Chain A
Amino acid sequence: MVLCDNMQKSAQDYLKTIYSLSKNEEGIVNTTDISQKLDVTPASVTEMLKKLSEEGYIKYSPYHGSTLTEKGLKEAQKVTRKHRLLESFLSNVLRIGNDKVHQEACQMEHTLSDEAEESLCRLLNHPDTCPDDGKTIPACDLPFSNCEECVQLHKKGLEQVGKRDKNLVSIKDLKNGTYGKISFIRGEHKVLQRLLDMGLTPGTQIQVIKVAPLDGPVEISVRSSKLAIGQNIACNVFVEITN
């Protein structure tokens, strides 16, 4: 599949591609997959990967493949988030067909400002998945622990609010056995309250025990109890990995 059609694939597109091809936070992506997905010759992919590696966005070894570094993940999440938010906007608000939103979003994602990104998120009521392929929209990088805070406090202005420095990962994308610290829960008050009541308060240490097959629930251990959380909630629970 062709990812983005513009003549020059930007670095962001590479990062975005590596992000979407890696199954979990440590996923290694091989060069042929990238070249296929971007529709670029392996030679120019390799060249770009080397450049990205030099700038510290990825770890790259010619035979093994590429993984995102913290810095690369941040950039990849940002552009992926913009892409998927734009897709949601184009589809849900502008009613553009789901077959076209991807291309459109590809054009717009590189120029969308952070401020517009957050306004879009609030306008769309904090969407959690993109409309065309149901993939999870990454969390925002504001330092809030839930969307209610964002709605109430964003008026201060982005500079005042500041940014989160750690990358967040949804618990559904974690490998079995990974530890994390609850940092952000997306969604409406009701679900949030239920999760808080079960012990998933901000800063709580959790461990992913296992993810059921076929996009099934995620089993986590929290405060010495074990909980199964369905995918559609799990994709909204974000942690900082603390292994």
Chain B
Amino acid sequence: MTTPTPNIDQKNKTPTSDVTKKSAKNNNDDTGKQFTFALAGNANVGKSVIFNQLTGSNQIIGNWPGKTVDRAEGLLFFEGYNIKVIDLPGIYSFSTFSMEEIVSRDYVALEHPNAVINVVDASVLERNLFFTLQLLEMNAPLVLVLNQVDIAKNKGIIIDKDHLSKLLGVPVVFATATRGEGIYEAVKEAVNLATNKPKSNLLRYRKDLEEQISKLQNLIEKENLNLGYPSRWVAIKLLEGDTEIAKMVNEKSPSVIAQSRFIAAEFEKHCQEKCFTIIASERYALSNSIVVSSLQQDEIWHPFTDKLDWFSTHRIFGYITAFAVIGGLLLWTFFIGNTLSNFISQGLNYINPINPLLSTSAPFLSIILNGVWGGFEAGLTLIIPFVIPFYLLLAFIEDSGLLTRVAFMMDSAMHKIGLHGKALIPIILGYGCSVPAIHSCKIMETRRERLLAAFAITFAPCSARTIVLFGMVGLFVGIHWALLLYVVNLAIIFAMGKIAMKAVPGKSTGLIMEMSSFKRPSLKIALKQTWTRTKSIIYLVFPIYIIGSALIQLLYFYDILTPISNAFYPITVIWLGLPAFAGILLLLGAVRKELIILGATAILGTTNLLVGFTSIQLVIMALVAMLYIPCVSTMATLGKEFGWKTATLISIANICTALIIGGIAFQTLNFFV
């Protein structure tokens, strides 16, 4: 590893703290040793890699208040400074069409971080500078980090960073974040910026546009609106027709809005173009002229990655690749997971404090303890063996750029259920565990798409459900029956997706996805990513497992489950043809799906499930178990992401599906077998 590790403190100089001119807005002016830096930039440029390198383990991961947008905050000790680092969401613009954009723009404009570290992908400089220019419009104190220079070099791109720095009037640093290069320099520049507060250049657009901007700017300044945003920026936003800003201004001064509308309309009539397209075009024109004068590119041929690209998006090989990737991921997870899971549960058997099966005459405390231990054990035998290998391989597939190609190939299939190619990622995740899968639905643009994907995920056979499927059907009825159920499940996901697409109002937006170039994934980054994802599951799932399992244990012990289960008799026994105790199992399974198997073993007093079930009953039981309700952790996640009403509706839809399909399957099997 190279220089920049967390809490870097290098021998030499602390930056001279210059007292400067205009600094009214900065928070931590006088303390001097307290800074806030924000990492901003497009998606996939390397912000999180830099964030992790800077903050190490001092991180708080949460949500932005009132928003379902991830917020990552961390602490860095750098040459005597306490620096709070915020990793802003990856965005391309500040046009307020997404929550991520609103969060980022309000943070940059209103919280006044001491420095904004704008991470850009050096190999796609023109597009990245489009966003940089918008940060400069906001007068953000900027350090430009040209990241991924290794990839840029590989593409034959050479950037004159001093020239770029002169044009923009901001410090520019080269970096290869994955190797830790350039990060120290970036922080150094940011500290320098925070202490010295030099001014960046004012970049100007074409003359007639600038005239309109300054007309409006004067108006805004005269009215003294005190919005907290820079007035030139507000002027630009008003011209663009930004509804959020217009609303804010309107509350203070409707006359400014009226005049801005007039100015915009006149200008648009004159140019025969809308202001927002003019402004976007101008930003790109400026960005382009900067790139032209500071970047050189030689064509370099990459026989290997070009071949790989050709292969993975080929009309036949592309589908083969896609299925191999998805199938391989699932097989790997199941194979490794099963082996590890057996290994761990055997290991735990030796240190089992209490009999994990429901004991008959134990005191209250040990019942609780038993439940707690059971929950802990289940967490351990599920998360470690199934979730970690899954995430690890997924991280490799993601980082290499392969997943993007799979999404590209599968886009048209996903459209059949109102989603697009990107939704494949959360749905594949759903085969590991529904909780992080639903969490990752955030990568989709609209609430409707997030909802549709999350709904599909609640039917996806996560590793717990897979355990039930193979433990009940695969083991006792036959592996082909288990596989058949897997296929049936796929059909159900598809059908339910289609129904949901019709039921949820709105139109599906399409795919706009960057096809980043293939690259060699790094083990360190993959491990880090795996750990971050696993950690969030552990925090959510372990407590629910432990509490739920203790509670169920109590209910079972005091025989409260049986009467409830009996109330389900018409459904379980008559409609689904299951044994009477299936009601108990379904109650248990609502906490954790594998409890269905554990419970059955406990109730029957043997691991041979054929003692209590016929083959048909096992098939029906597994089928219903796969569909009937999201487990409590999943429900908690759904509630958190979509609200409790939606979570309840989804659960009801699950129950209905399970009952209808289970009942039909029972009647059919009964008829034929």
Interfacial residues, chain A to chain B (CB-CB below 8 A): 143-146, 148-149, 152-153, 189-199, 201-204, 210, 212-217, 219, 223-234
Instruction: Give the total number of A-B pairs whose CB atoms are below 8 A apart.
Output: 141
Among listed B108-116, B227-235, B275-283, interface-contacting one? B275-283
Q: Are the CB atoms of B277 and A213 closer together than 8 Å?
A: no
Q: Are the CB atoms of A226 and B515 closer together than 8 Å?
A: yes
Contacts A/B (CB < 8 Å), 17 sampled: A152-B268, A191-B509, A193-B276, A196-B280, A198-B127, A201-B284, A212-B313, A212-B318, A213-B409, A213-B412, A216-B412, A217-B412, A217-B421, A227-B515, A228-B421, A229-B510, A233-B512
- Shortest Cβ distance from B404 into A: residue: A228
User: For the complex, is B92 an interface residue (Cβ under 8 Å from A)?
Assistant: yes
Determine which of B280, B510, B514 lies in contact with A230 in the assembled complex, contact meaning CB atoms within 8 Å: B510
Cβ–Cβ < 8 Å partners of A224 in chain B: 123-127, 297
Q: Are the CB atoms of A194 and B512 closer together than 8 Å?
A: yes
Cβ–Cβ < 8 Å partners of B511 in chain A: 217, 228-230, 233
Cβ–Cβ < 8 Å partners of B124 in chain A: 223-225
Cβ–Cβ < 8 Å partners of A195 in chain B: 512
**In chain B, residues 560-616, which have Cβ atoms closer than 8 Å to a Cβ of chain A?**
none
User: For the complex, is B408 an interface residue (Cβ under 8 Å from A)?
Assistant: yes
- Shortest Cβ distance from A151 into B: residue: B274
Q: Are the CB atoms of A199 and B268 closer together than 8 Å?
A: no
Determine which of B273, B280, B415 lies in contact with A197 in the assembled complex, contact meaning CB atoms within 8 Å: B280
A217-B421, A219-B313 given; name 14 further pairs at CB < 8 Å.
A145-B277, A149-B273, A193-B97, A195-B512, A196-B276, A197-B95, A224-B297, A225-B124, A226-B516, A227-B513, A228-B421, A230-B512, A231-B412, A234-B510
User: For the complex, is B93 an interface residue (Cβ under 8 Å from A)?
Assistant: yes
Q: Chain A's nearest CB lies how many Å from the CB of B138? A: 16
CA gap between A153 and B420 in the complex, in Å: 34
Q: Are the CB atoms of A231 and B510 closer together than 8 Å?
A: yes
Cβ–Cβ < 8 Å partners of B95 in chain A: 193, 197
Given A210-B313, A226-B515, A228-B411: A198 touches B92 (CB 8 Å cut-off)? yes
Cβ–Cβ < 8 Å partners of A219 in chain B: 313, 408, 515
CA gap between A103 and B130 in the complex, in Å: 49
Given A145-B277, A201-B280: A212 touches B127 (CB 8 Å cut-off)? no
Cβ–Cβ < 8 Å partners of B319 in chain A: 213
Q: Are the CB atoms of B127 and A225 closer together than 8 Å?
A: yes
Cβ–Cβ < 8 Å partners of A148 in chain B: 274
Q: Are the CB atoms of A232 and B510 closer together than 8 Å?
A: yes
CA gap between A230 and B127 in the complex, in Å: 20
Q: Chain B's nearest CB lies how many Å from the CB of A237? A: 10
User: For the complex, is B645 an interface residue (Cβ under 8 Å from A)?
Assistant: no
User: For the complex, is B11 an interface residue (Cβ under 8 Å from A)?
Assistant: no
Q: Chain B's nearest CB lies how many Å from the CB of A155? A: 10
CA gap between A192 and B272 in the complex, in Å: 17
The SS class assigned to the B binding surface is helix
CA gap between A156 and B79 in the complex, in Å: 64
Q: Chain A's nearest CB lies how many Å from the CB of B408? A: 5
Given A230-B415, A230-B421: A198 touches B97 (CB 8 Å cut-off)? no
Q: Chain B's nearest CB lies how many Å from the CB of A134? A: 12
Q: Are the CB atoms of B512 and A213 closer together than 8 Å?
A: no
**In chain B, residues 512-527, which have Cβ atoms closer than 8 Å to a Cβ of chain A?**
512-517
Cβ–Cβ < 8 Å partners of B509 in chain A: 190-191, 233
Q: Chain A's nearest CB lies how many Å from the CB of B105? A: 13
Cβ–Cβ < 8 Å partners of A232 in chain B: 415, 508, 510
Q: Are the CB atoms of A199 and B284 closer together than 8 Å?
A: yes
Q: Are the CB atoms of B421 and A204 closer together than 8 Å?
A: no
Q: Are the CB atoms of A212 and B412 closer together than 8 Å?
A: yes
Counting from the closest, the 4 A-B pairs by CB-CB distance are: A230-B510, A230-B511, A233-B510, A197-B93
- Shortest Cβ distance from A156 into B: residue: B269
CA gap between A30 and B277 in the complex, in Å: 42
Q: Are the CB atoms of A214 and B512 closer together than 8 Å?
A: no
Considering residues B268, B409, B510, B514, which has the most beta carbons from chain A within 10 angstroms of its beta carbon? B510
Determine which of B269, B318, B508, B513 lies in contact with A213 in the assembled complex, contact meaning CB atoms within 8 Å: B318
Q: Are the CB atoms of B273 and A190 closer together than 8 Å?
A: no
CA gap between A225 and B515 in the complex, in Å: 8
Cβ–Cβ < 8 Å partners of A202 in chain B: 273, 277, 281
Cβ–Cβ < 8 Å partners of B127 in chain A: 198-199, 223-225
Cβ–Cβ < 8 Å partners of A198 in chain B: 92, 127, 512
User: For the complex, is B315 an interface residue (Cβ under 8 Å from A)?
Assistant: yes
CA gap between A226 and B517 in the complex, in Å: 9
Q: Are the CB atoms of B421 and A191 closer together than 8 Å?
A: no
Given A213-B315, A226-B514, A230-B421: A149 touches B272 (CB 8 Å cut-off)? yes
- Shortest Cβ distance from A193 into B: residue: B95
Considering residues B123, B265, B281, B516, which has the most beta carbons from chain A within 10 angstroms of its beta carbon? B281
Cβ–Cβ < 8 Å partners of A212 in chain B: 313, 318, 408-409, 411-412
Cβ–Cβ < 8 Å partners of B274 in chain A: 146, 148-149, 152
Determine which of A199, A214, A215, A230 lies in contact with B420 in the assembled complex, contact meaning CB atoms within 8 Å: A230
User: For the complex, is B534 an interface residue (Cβ under 8 Å from A)?
Assistant: no
CA gap between A198 and B126 in the complex, in Å: 10
Cβ–Cβ < 8 Å partners of A231 in chain B: 411-412, 415, 510
Q: Are the CB atoms of A228 and B515 closer together than 8 Å?
A: yes
Q: Are the CB atoms of A204 and B515 closer together than 8 Å?
A: no
Q: Chain B's nearest CB lies how many Å from the CB of A195? A: 7
- Shortest Cβ distance from B96 into A: residue: A193
Q: Chain B's nearest CB lies how many Å from the CB of A55? A: 33
CA gap between A216 and B93 in the complex, in Å: 26
**In chain B, residues 66-123, which have Cβ atoms closer than 8 Å to a Cβ of chain A?**
92-93, 95, 97, 123
Cβ–Cβ < 8 Å partners of A201 in chain B: 277, 280-281, 284
Given A197-B130, A212-B409: A225 touches B512 (CB 8 Å cut-off)? no
User: For the complex, is B288 an interface residue (Cβ under 8 Å from A)?
Assistant: yes
Given A212-B411, A223-B288, A224-B126: A229 touches B512 (CB 8 Å cut-off)? yes
Given A149-B273, A149-B274, A217-B421: A197 touches B92 (CB 8 Å cut-off)? yes
CA gap between A216 and B126 in the complex, in Å: 27
Convert B405-423 into 0s and 1s, putting 1 for each residue whose CB lies closer than 8 angstroms to a CB of A. Answer: 0011101110100001100
Q: Chain A's nearest CB lies how many Å from the CB of B292? A: 11
Cβ–Cβ < 8 Å partners of B421 in chain A: 217, 228, 230
Considering residues B126, B277, B404, B508, which has the most beta carbons from chain A within 10 angstroms of its beta carbon? B277
Cβ–Cβ < 8 Å partners of B412 in chain A: 212-217, 231
Cβ–Cβ < 8 Å partners of B514 in chain A: 225-228
Cβ–Cβ < 8 Å partners of A189 in chain B: 276
